[in-house]
Amino acid sequence: MTGPSFAVNVSILLTELPLLERPAAAAEAGFDAIEMWWPFDGPQPADAEVAALRKAIEAAGVRLTGLNFDAGDMAAGERGLLARPGTSARFRANIDVATRLAAELDCRVLNALYGNDPGTDRALAVANLTLAAEAAARSGAVVVVEALNAHENPHYPITSSAAAFELIDEVGRDDVAFLADLYHLHRMGEDVPALIDTAAHRFGHVQIADDPGRGRPGSGRMPYPEILDRLAAAGYRGRIGLEYRHQGPDAFAWRSA
């Protein structure tokens, strides 16, 4: 059995470097794939910004394996545009830009964050997910829906795997799947190994961090050797996104521990 294939989330790791230097730093650390949140300030960045990012990724020799759609001002607490009438137009304006960048870099996973209450609209979320999936499907990509923990994201409505699955089922497309962020799920009290055993076939992507603290695997209480073995045994063959917080040169030392 081969080991898991990881992708460094360069929006939360290697942040001591400018964004355009992080793909090369990930490669130097021994990784062949990265993922990222939406890296631009708005839904439609200048062509030069997109070209510079694409060049940095290609020059580093890594693949972009996961990309968020524009999710608003994440630093200010926004968590997506998908389901809010006031931000729906911004989300739709981003669909073609994000899916085109993903296609150019052979990125097959795009994450659509739901958006904070109050005022989210379920029917609007379903309609926008459908539009996003239709655009992503042209290059063979899937759109994923993520559950976030309510402790850090108190206004986010999708806080469990069950809530995410319900939304995905409403969309009713094979190319809309679940982003299993195991840190968020564990923080909400879900039995992560059991979820893997029963629902890994519904995972379009997996991200990991340890709980508590959202640090690297081994820094908290989550049984990551067992979790990674369970993912492999359940047939999950996608990338595993490293979406944890860590500063310093030993951010990836746990892999050889």
Q: How does pLDDT run across 225-237, given as a tens digit for each residue?
A: 999 999 999 999 9
Type of residue found at 43: P
Spatial neighbors of 20 by CB under 8 A, at least 6 apart, are 52, 53, 56
- How confident is the model over 246-256, as a mean pLDDT? 87
E strands along 133-233, which residues? 142-146, 176-181, 203-208
Say how far apart CA 54 and CA 47 lie, in whole Å: 11
Residue tagged active-site, from 28, 134, 152, 243: 243
Count helices and strands (H / E) in the chain.
8, 8
Tell me if 146 sits within 8 A of 179, measured CB to CB.
Answer: yes
- Average pLDDT value for the chain: 96
Q: Where do runs of H (alpha helix) occur along 113-153?
A: 122-137
Q: List the structure tokens of 110.
A: 């795009």
Candidate list 28, 134, 146, 226, residue with the active-site label: 146
Core vs surface per residue 53-74: b (16+ CB within 10 A) or e: beebbeebebbbbbbbbbbbee
Per-residue model confidence as pLDDT tens digits over 48-61: 999 999 999 999 99
pLDDT in tens, 28-53: 999 999 999 999 999 999 999 999 99
Task: Provide mean pLDDT across the span 160-179.
Answer: 98
Q: What is the dihedral of CA 115, 119, 203, 241, to 10 degrees?
A: 10
What domains appear along the chain, each with residue ranges and CATH number? 6-256 (3.20.20.150)
Q: What is the H or E stretch that residue 17 is in?
A: none
146 catalytic per annotation? yes
pLDDT of residue 17: 96
pLDDT on residue 249 = 75
- Residue 125 — pLDDT band, cuts 50, 70, 90? very high
- d(CA 21, CA 54) in angstroms, rounded, equals 12
Distance CA 162, CA 164 (A): 5
Distance CA(16)–CA(69), nearest Å, equals 23
DSSP structure class, residue 77: T
Which pLDDT tens digit goes with each residue over 180-229?
Answer: 999 999 999 999 999 999 999 999 999 999 999 999 999 999 999 999 99
Neighbour count for residue 20 (Cβ, 10 Å): 17
134 classed as catalytic = no
* pLDDT higher than threshold 90 for residue 256: no
- Mean pLDDT over 67-86 rounds to 96
